[in-house]
Amino acid sequence: MSSPLPAYEKLGAFYLGRPYDATTKETEPTPLLYDAKDLTTHAMCVGMTGSGKTGLCITVLEEAALDGVPALVVDLKGDLTNLMLRFPDFKPEDFRPWVDEDAARRKGATPDEFAAQQAELWKNGLASWDQDGDRIRRLQAAAEVAIYTPGSEAGLPVSILASFAAPSAAVKADPDALRERISTTASSLLGLLGIDADPLKSREHILLATLFDDAWGRGEDLDLASLIQRLQAPPIDKIGVLPLESFYPAKDRFELAMTLNNLLAAPSFQSWLTGAPLDVDQMLYGADGKPRVAIFSLAHLGDAERMFFLSLLLNQTLSWMRGRPGTGSLRALLYIDEIFGYLPPVANPPSKAPLLTLLKQARAFGVGLLLATQNPVDLDYKALSNMGTWFLGRLQTERDKARVLDGLVAAQGGPKRADLERLLSGLAKRVFLLHNVHEAAPVLFQVRWAMSYLCGPLTLPQIKTLMAGHTQDAAVVPANAAAAASDGKARPVLPPDVPQHFLPFTGRPEEGMGYAPRALGYARVHFVDRRKAIETSETVALLAPITDAGKSGVDWYEAEEMESFDPERLESEAEFDGSYGDLAGTVDGKALKRWEKELADALYRSRTFELFKSPSLGLTSRPGESERDFRIRLGDASREAADAEKEKLREKYGKLDARLEEKIRKTMQRLEKEKEQAKGEKLQSFLKVGTTLLGAFMGRKTLSKTNLSKAGTAMRGVGRAFKEGQDVDRVEDDLETLQTQREELHRELEAEIQEAADRLNVTDEGLETVAVKPRKSDIDVRLVALAWAPVRANGEAAWQ
């Protein structure tokens, strides 16, 4: 049996450290837990070099990964690559490749000895914070880590070509978002060329923005090569009300085109064109839907290249975000480890607009920003006031402290300035002031020990070693159907009732190219299952060899399915001169009618529409949604359900707890009253007994009836005092019982929250398959025709 999880492993809670007492310089025994949902209102981490800022942010990323929350990590200094250094067995040989040999020399140790010391240090450090190798293993199993190195092949290279693709429908539907995307893309590209362009004054910026707007408005993707061509021959003739030649003459446009061409032709730039496309969805999740911590190491790049890439990444993040449904739970994190220069108070670099947009809009989509800096004075004031969480470490100057205090006090519900100044005074290393607008008051805490080995910035050769064996997600390349080579014959003459079309051809004609005959079928298949509340349609385009037109002619079951087929792109005439392949038999109107009937029958018998279903949540995948995307949505839904159930449980138990608390309060009041009564009764009784006896001895030698009566009354008072004492004991017992009931109530709440987390965890859940078949009446054959398919001399397909 596996050992029970530590008490701090709670649903949606990040274990960041322990509360810290500034007076005693010691931590409290209870863990400091941070609610993951609070990160959707974003966080700022501020601290000078040596304050422990990087360790804190790595801790946040570790906790997010443990919760299955993916992250985009912009690593400008090289420290965040340490997130891949996780050694659950604490073997010295695991640490050895990453130890600093200069540090070992300063310690008077060999590298091997120093590695052993570091292994022991990390093992003991984690143990002191109630962590061990098992927690590291859970972290490794929860999320992947990948290091991307734009402009280098040391890690996983990143291709920027897709970054000039037409924006998503969600972005195009928002005019402000589209304008921001166009402006940022143009600014970042010109910045890479060394052109400081004002969006309102620079003709370079205005022309590029116009070209992007024109292409994207028509749904056309761009790359650098096509952009160069459009600069030389723009598809527009006016800029505003001025003729293009007056605004930007062809000679000047050629110079800009040559500058772009030189960039494209530079050997050093080729690494920007290969590798994984800058696709946020693919980088946040693996092919199996597993969350990923995607680290973009930019330490090797120059300032212009960093700005260029970061701006593209922010734009892609905005597009990805806007294509997701809203959620109140934390869906993903974006962390930038040094925001200085990218969000300045006065200037407007390409990165600023998308960052401000993310700070304003990301919360609604469950995307949290975590920004870190040493220099808060150089950050935009509006951005600072939008932060819901502040992690404040040691600050370098009073000016920095004043800027931070201004931002905090200006925030709605901010604490008093004097209280913050007192808490910020004399912070130790790894001690931070946490101000969270969702909590009642700021708190000091010491950051827990990081599970990742923090050895410092990694070089490109070290990253290459670390990433050896890690590959990109394999690209799916559809296999082409076997194409018959052209045999040099002319196009056959066919009856007029035989529709003929030419498949679109891409590229330039080559010697020996020709056309091979194919049967083309295009149909719409409707799927309906009222009982399962499923109703959807799909269009199917099939391309099959013509084997024997005189008999069955076509085997639709062996046909190639054409993805993204658009009948509007079919041509009526050949695009190049070439020879035509032989037809196997006679192709006429009767043959096409037979093909149409057989196509409908094949689709009726072979097509099914399959959906995935989660047994635990009862959710069904949407039409066209892959298992990967469905699992990602299930993860979001399970977190939302878990958050909702947690709040429901807290509300339920909160009412019970409030009633118990009120009973405890009243019982404590009754206890105080009983104690006072008992105390008074005892005192009166003793006074009466003493007075009676003293009167007896001092007044008369013998006791009269009166004295005897007084003595009896005094003794009865003593009895009442004894009874009052018993009442106190009973009330104390009642109080103890109530307090025990309240402790048990709290344990029941924690148990129910954990049970809900386990019950709603769908990470490894097996999915059911829901299959729907069409009815014969639901097959709508829209086109059956003879298609001429371009082929190369060797028979390889050349159609799109």
Gap between the Cα atoms of 338 and 45, Å rounded: 10
Going by pLDDT thresholds of 50, 70 and 90, the confidence category of residue 474 is very low
Structural element, H or E, at residue 627: helix 627-699
Secondary-structure breakdown of the chain: helix, strand, coil percentages, each rounded to the nearest 5: 45, 20, 35
Query: Which of the two residues, 88 and 235, has the higher pLDDT score?
Result: 88
In the predicted structure, residue 556 carries a pLDDT above the cut 50: yes
Distance (Å, rounded) from C-alpha 544 to C-alpha 557? 9
Task: Please give the C-alpha separations between residue 52 and each of 24, 47, 125, in angstroms, as whole numbers.
Answer: 20, 8, 15
pLDDT in tens, 196-244: 888 888 999 999 999 999 999 988 888 887 888 788 778 898 998 899 9
Predicted confidence at residue 458, as pLDDT, reads 94
Angle between helices 627-699 and 705-759 (to 10 degrees): 170
Tokens of 299: 């330490």
pLDDT at 51: 92
Confidence of residue 686 (pLDDT cuts 50, 70, 90): low
Q: What is the pLDDT of residues 152-178, one digit of tens each?
A: 999 999 988 667 888 888 888 888 889
The mean pLDDT of 135-140, rounded to a whole number, is: 96
Give the residue-averaged pLDDT of 378-401. Answer: 85
- Single-letter residue type at 70: P
Angle (CA) 749 753 756, round 5°? 140
Q: How far apart are CA 787 and CA 546, in angstroms?
A: 10
Percent of the chain with pLDDT over 70: 88
Task: Find the range with the poorest average confidence among 24-33, 387-396, 694-703, 772-781.
Answer: 694-703
Query: How many angstroms separate the CA atoms of 287 and 264, rounded?
Result: 31
Greater confidence (739 vs 691) lies with 739
Residue indicated by tokens 């040493």:
374
Instruction: Considering only CA atoms, give the Rg of the chain.
Output: 37
pLDDT on residue 484: 33
Is 480's pLDDT higher than 50? no
Output the six-digit token pair for 282. Answer: 């693919």
Report, as an integer, the average pLDDT of 729-740: 85
pLDDT above 90 for 496 = no
Cβ contact 43:368 at 8 Å: yes
pLDDT of 487 > 50? The answer is no
Distance CA 599, CA 20 (A): 74
Helix/strand/coil for 376: helix
Output the CA angle 624-626-629, nearest 5 degrees. 115
pLDDT tier at 121, thresholds 50, 70, 90 = very high
If pLDDT is split at 50, 70 and 90, which confidence band does 300 have?
A: very high
Strand, coil or helix: what is 256?
Answer: helix
Length of the chain: 800
Tell me what pLDDT residue 262 has: 83
Q: How many CB atoms lie within 10 A of CB 716?
A: 12
Task: Say whether pLDDT at 410 is over 80.
Answer: no
Q: Are 167 and 317 in contact (CB under 8 A)?
A: no
pLDDT greater at residue 793 or residue 204: 204
Q: Which residues sit opposite 580 in a β-bridge?
A: 489, 515
Give the pLDDT confidence of 324-377 residue by residue, as tens digits.
899 999 999 999 999 999 999 988 899 999 999 999 999 999 999 999 998 888
Tell me what percent of the residues of the chain surpass a pLDDT of 90.
Answer: 42
* Separation between Cα atoms, residue 70 and residue 9, nearest integer Å: 18
CA distances from 163 to 6, 166, 189, 455, 663 (A): 44, 8, 11, 34, 63
**Structure-derived torsion over alpha carbons of residues 470, 476, 477, 481, reported in degrees to the nearest 10:** 140
Q: β-strands 431-436, 443-447: how paired?
A: antiparallel
Poorest-pLDDT segment among 31-40, 120-129, 439-448, 631-640: 631-640
Region of poorest pLDDT, from 56-70, 245-259, 284-298, 393-407:
393-407
Q: How confident is the model at residue 793 (pLDDT cuts 50, 70, 90)?
A: confident
Q: What is the DSSP annotation of 750-799?
A: HHHHHHHHHHT--TTPPPEEEEEPPPGGGEEEEEEEEEEEEE-TTS-B-B
**Using CA atoms, how far apart are residues 43 and 391, in angstroms rounded to an integer?**
7
Residue 696 has pLDDT above 60, yes or no: no
Per DSSP, the residues of 636-649 read HHHHHHHHHHHHHH
- When comparing pLDDT for 139 and 481, which is higher? 139
Higher pLDDT, 269 or 280: 280
Mean pLDDT of 730-748: 85
**Tokens 């003794």 -> residue:** 715
Least confident of 407-416, 426-435, 447-456: 407-416
Mean pLDDT of 695-723: 56
User: At residue 702, does pLDDT exceed 60?
Assistant: no
> Residue 575: is its pLDDT beyond 50?
yes
What rounded mean pLDDT belongs to the chain?
85
User: For the residues 563-585, what does the mean pLDDT come to?
Assistant: 84
- Residue 71: what pLDDT? 98
Do residues 534 and 528 touch, judged by C-beta distance below 8 A? yes
User: What pLDDT band is residue 492 in, cutting at 50, 70 and 90?
Assistant: low
Per-residue pLDDT, 414: 56
32-36, 378-382, 412-416: which has the highest mean pLDDT? 32-36
CATH class, domain 7-83+293-477, is: alpha beta
Residue 18: is its pLDDT beyond 80? yes
pLDDT score at 127: 96
Instruction: Count Cβ atoms below 10 Å from residue 194 Cβ, excluding itself.
Output: 9
Residue among 478, 487, 552 at smallest CA distance from 514: 487
pLDDT at 640 over 90: no
Cα gap 518→736, rounded to integer Å:
87
**Distance between CA atoms of 467 and 84, rounded to whole angstroms?**
9
Phi-psi region of 68 (alpha: psi -120 to 50; beta: other; left: phi over 0): left
Question: Is 68 a residue whose pLDDT tops 90?
Answer: yes
Of residues 663 and 32, more confidently modeled = 32
401 contacts 408 by C-beta, under 8 angstroms: no
| Nearest-10 Cα torsion for 385, 390, 393, 399 | 10
First and final C-alpha spacing in the chain: 56
Specify the DSSP element, H or E, that contains 258. Answer: helix 250-265
DSSP assignment letter at 148: E
Strands 332-336 and 389-392: unpaired
